Amino acid sequence: MRARLSGPNIRMNRLLEYAQRHPVLVGLLLIAVVAVLAFELRSRRYNYASIRPQEAVLLMKEGAQVYDLREADAYAAGHISGARHLARSQHDSAAELLKKYREKLLVLYCDDGSLSSAMTRKLHAAGFTKVFNLRGGLGPWRADGMPLQRG
């Protein structure tokens, strides 16, 4: 006597049968799923505690300290007005150097947002509660026609 299959069991058997008959399609589906997950994880990594340029301006009006994490020559060529330069040699000790701002607003930026996003995560882990990353780095700031200071 054959056991009768219920609704979920029938669907599972059909799914397994489909996967056996169409391994290429199932493989492509798995590749697509992995690609979407990788894109989402990358996006979250680069946009950690991120803000748009307009939000950065509002935080600056509230007294936020702004730090440029780029190389010194890039900083000199043009930076956000009032931004301070945090040299690459200081990145490892940034939590110690910025400890007086632990409870104050901080905005970090770099060229593309990757370095500032990593630094934002690092400072959050060190107990900084109000540190933000300028989403996309200086590119969106320029694209929005926001001013840069030279020197």
Query: Which residue in 110, 115, 123, 134 is the catalytic one?
Result: 110
CA torsion sign, 106 to 111 to 115 to 117? positive
Q: Residue 129 CA to chain centroid, in angstroms?
A: 17
Using CA atoms in the order 49, 50, 51, 52, what is the torsion angle rounded to 10 degrees? Answer: -170
**Residues 75/85, Cβ–Cβ less than 8 Å:** yes
**Spatial CA neighbour of 46 closest among 119, 126, 125, 129:** 119
The question of whether 75 is a catalytic residue gets the answer no
Active site residues: 110
